[in-house]
Each structure stands twice: as structure tokens, then as C-alpha cells.
Structure 1
Amino acid sequence: MTGMTVSRSPISLHRLAGPSRGVMLTAALLGSTLMPAAASADEPDYCPDRPGIGTPACTLEPGRASVEIGMGDWTLDKDRQERQDVFEAAELLVRYGVARHAEIQVGWTAFGWSRTRDRMTGDVEHRSGSGDATFALRRNLLNPDGSGLSIAVMPYISLPVGRQPIGDSDWAAGARVPLSYELSDKWSLVTTSQFDAAVDEDGDGRHFAFDEVVGASLKIGEALSATAEYEVTADHDPQGHSVAHVSGLSLGWQPTKDLQIDAGANAGLDRDAPDLELYFGLSRRF
């Protein structure tokens, strides 16, 4: 809301007599000053998907959009046989509020590059490409601004527009159930449960996978927040079942109410998980 406009028509001012005119002009000026402040105070805080492992339960207001970009992401995964480094850039997520409790999402990784070195022979393989396109609907069930106890359901589907190792080479689908609970004005608990029809490792067919993320978020100041998370993934791939454990720490800084800059790190806790991931990015609400 841009506020009230005070009429400056000579006829309108002429019809107002002495003290009455002064009182009404003062009231109008105060109204034009206070109304934008009230609208700003009523607007929900910006709640990007980035950073972190889990997914927030909040949704955007109707007609508002959020563009979130992973500027850089490096993942290291090594064992006795080989070492693989994967770099991703321009990881894009666009969110749009379609109702007070619902938003739609489109995600895509524009570019990725991998380097795999055989630790026995020293041979190196390089591969590059783009990622798959993901489409999702997030339907909030309680408190769409993320306050108090907030919960949502989020079905999604990914289409194989990319190629391995950045894309999966086949379609996949699943659903997430994010939940958050504010313990105080500084501390919040966050969880995300995910059920997937994940693509097989050979890129042909699908299998069941389950993922659970639990964490705690701390609001350090008016603009800075930190989140610590733990993730466990049970993957029932036909070529070998695995259970991976990962810990993560991320920071989000919002210098303005519609802009966030973030960075994070994830560390694998067992041999089935990637050893290390470092990333940074930014988000902007429109």
C-alpha cells in the first residue's frame, strides 16, 4: 500500500474553515505516514527455502515471488577406489504464491561439472551438463507465515532434462512434509520427512527412498540466523541398499526484508554419505 494522497484542490481547501482545516490536514498527513508502516509490519517475514538441508513449511503470500540461486556448490565424495568432485552453479528455484496457504515451485540446475579420479591408476574423467527440472506444490496446513507450529505437504516431480552426474536420466517423484515449531522468539525446531520414488543408480527405473532431517534454528540478531541439522537417508537401490548420515550448518543473512545471502557446509558421518559439501547463494523476494 502506497498510502493516502492529500487533496490539494483550491476548492477543497477554501471550504475548510480555520481550525477545522488544520485538524483535517494534520490527520491526513499522519494517516499517509502511518498506513505504509502498518502494511509493512503486517507483511510476513521473508522465508526462503535456502539454505540448509531441510525444507521450510512457510508459503509465500499470493502474488509474491521468490527467486533463489545457488551461486556455487562443491561436493567431495571419496573412497579407496576413487575421488569425485562435483561443482554446480546457477542452481535456480522460482517460487510463486497462488493462495494464502499454497505456492508452486520450479527448480533447475543450469550447469554442473564433475571430476572423477581413479586413486589406483590415476586416470581422470571429466563430465558436465545440466540438471533435471523439478516441479512442486507446497500446501501449508497451519500458519503459512511459519510462526508457532507450522506444517505443510509438498508433492513434487522431476523430469529428466539433464544428464548424469548432475541429472538422474529418468523421472522421479515424491513428497515432503516439512514442520517447524517456535520455542521462543530466537529458537525454532525444524524437521522434514521425505518419501521418494528415486531413480535407480543405473538411470533406469525407480526404487523407494526415505529421508528425515531434524534441526534447530537460532536467530542471532535481527538479520542473521543459523541452523544446525542432522539428516539420515535410507536408499533401497537395487544395486545396493545404503543408509547415509549427514550433519549440516548454515547461515542466512537478510540485509533487507526481501533479500538474503547464505552459506553452508554439510559433512558426511559415514562411508555411504558424501564427505563434504560447501555452498553459498542468495534469495530475493518480489
Structure 2
Amino acid sequence: MVRVIGLALSAAVLTMGAPALAEDEPRFCPTRPNLGGSSCTTEPGRVHVELSALDWQRDDPADQREDRIVTADILARLGIGKNSEVQLDWVGYGRNRTRDKAAGTVDTVTGIGDVTFAIRQHLAGDKQKPFSAGVQAFVTAATGRYPVGAGAWSTGIIVPVQYELTKKVAIAVTAEADAAANQSGMGRHLAYSEIAGLRYKFTERVTATAELSLERDDEPDGHETLALAALSAAWRPTKVVQLDILASAGLNHAAPGLRLVTGGAILF
């Protein structure tokens, strides 16, 4: 009888403990390294910190070559509600080098980048449902000198949607519309984009994503359509740490030729 009571008590303890363990699982959902957005928000009182250790981009049009390096691009995400968070992003250092192929001259601009404030709201979806959606609004202050910074303030809205086809495969679409800063530093213009991605989860710690991006930029000095393809991978050595990498390539003349981004994220 004593043995039966002991087994019953053990079973009860295990049954009560299971939900507690599930509740203790941290909601760790970095936006990086994808091109697209995310609807996942940080839990109230917790902070995501995401960092681009190195972001290098090369553009190689007919008359010049442009190399851009950004480092210490830091994004902090603070949960302020069950499905809401605020974000603050700052580019700590950027270096833009432009070489005129005909004249052989080189122009280099270095300095800090812009500061972006954003609010993200998760609208639909949870761990038990395959569909999720959200919305994010942002405004960028021109704290950096062009071309490291935008040269003028800008604002926009991002709408990410995701659907999990299986436990390993998910598709995502991110739509964005911006009042983007003009290159002259005066005024703004319409820019909008659509990003489609396919994510594959190899394990709970390793994922990879393939994406296609199409952007229309109605810059007054010249309207452009930019097409990009990107591959990214993320590895989580622990439940609150991620290391990642992204590589993208331009698919048309207007898009930057190559881009490589490395960095990671941590949850506090």
C-alpha cells in the first residue's frame, strides 16, 4: 500500500511539473539573420539584444565601385506587453568607400549611423497554430552622415506573415512600405518591398532560410527596382544565444552585387 501511494504521489508531482517546465521555456525569437520581418515579440520584462558584428556590402556598377562596412549595429527589443514590444536600433560605426573607375579617385565617409525606434505588435498565432502575423511601425532619425546614414528622417510599416507547413518547413512573406529619405537629404519618397522566404529547421538548434526580395524605390533622381536572393543560417548553442550568418546577391543591375552579414543575438 505504501508503495502504491508513493507511486501515485510521484505521478502527481510529474504531472504538475510538466506545465511549469513548458512555461519556463523562454520565448527566444531573433529577427535576424533574415531579410524579412517577424511577428514574434519579446516577453514582458525581458530584452532581446541583436548585433551585426560585420555587415559588408559591395556594389559594382559600370562607372564606380562602392564598398560599405557596418559594425556594431545593435538592436535592443524590450517586451512591454503580452504581444507588444518596443525596439531601438543604432548603427555604431559605418565606413563607405567609393572609387571612381575612370578618374581613379576615392571618396571615403566614416562615422556613426542612424537611430531607429520601432513598435511591434503580434496580431495572430501561438505555439499550437501554424499561422502567425504581426505589424511593426518605425521611424528613423538621421543621426549619421550620408551615405553611412540616410541623410534625413524616414518612417515606414512592416507586415510579416508566416505559415508552418510542417514541423520543419515554414513559408514567410513580409510586406513593407516606407516614406524613405531622398538621397539629396531633403524630403521623402515612396519605397515598398515584398520578401518571400522558405525556412527549414534541421534541428531545434540549427535552421536555414532562403529568400527572394523585390523592392521598388521611387527616388526622385531615378526610380529603381531591386531584386535580391539571400541564404541565411542560424545556430543556437543555448536556449538564449544565437550565432548567425547571411549572404545575399543582386539579381539585377540596380541591386547591390554582394552582401555578407555575421552576428548573433542573446536574450536577457
TM-score range, shorter chain: over 0.9
Coordinate RMSD, CA, aligned: 2.2
Percent identity over the alignment is 38
The question of 1:140 aligning with 2:140 is answered no
Assess if the C-alpha contact under 8 Å between 1:253 and 1:261 holds in 2: yes
Aligned to 1:274: 256
CA distance 1:77–1:135, shift in 2 (3 Å): same
Aligned to 1:120: 102
Query: Of residues 13, 20, 24 in structure 2, which corresponds to 1:39?
Result: 20
Return the letter of the residue paired with 1:136.
A
Residue 34 (structure 1) shift: 7.0
Query: Of residues 65, 85, 89 in structure 2, which corresponds to 1:107?
Result: 89
The question of 1:51 aligning with 2:33 is answered yes
Residue 59 (structure 1) shift: 1.1
Gaps of 5+ in 2: none
TM-score, length basis structure 2: 0.92
Gaps of 5+ in 1: 1-18
C-alpha distance in structure 2 between counterparts of 1:272 and 1:53, whole Å = 18
C-alpha distance in structure 1 between counterparts of 2:126 and 2:86, whole Å = 14
Query: Of residues 69, 74, 77 in structure 1, which corresponds to 2:59?
Result: 77
Instruction: Detail structure 1 runs of 4+ shifted over 2 Å in the superposition.
Output: 30-35, 37-45, 144-147
The question of 1:151 aligning with 2:133 is answered yes
Identify which range, 145-154 or 167-176, moves more after superposition: 145-154
CA distance 1:233–1:275, shift in 2 (3 Å): same
What secondary structure does 1:41 align onto? helix
Aligned to 1:10: none
Post-superposition Cα deviations, 1:187-206, rounded to whole Å, max 9, x if no partner, equal 00011100100001111110
Residue 90 (structure 1) shift: 0.6
Matches within 5 A, 1:145-184: 147-184=129-166
C-alpha distance in structure 1 between counterparts of 2:44 and 2:206, whole Å = 26
C-alpha distance in structure 2 between counterparts of 1:23 and 1:282, whole Å = 47
Post-superposition Cα deviations, 1:76-135, rounded to whole Å, max 9, x if no partner, equal 001111000000001100001111111111001100011111111211111101111101
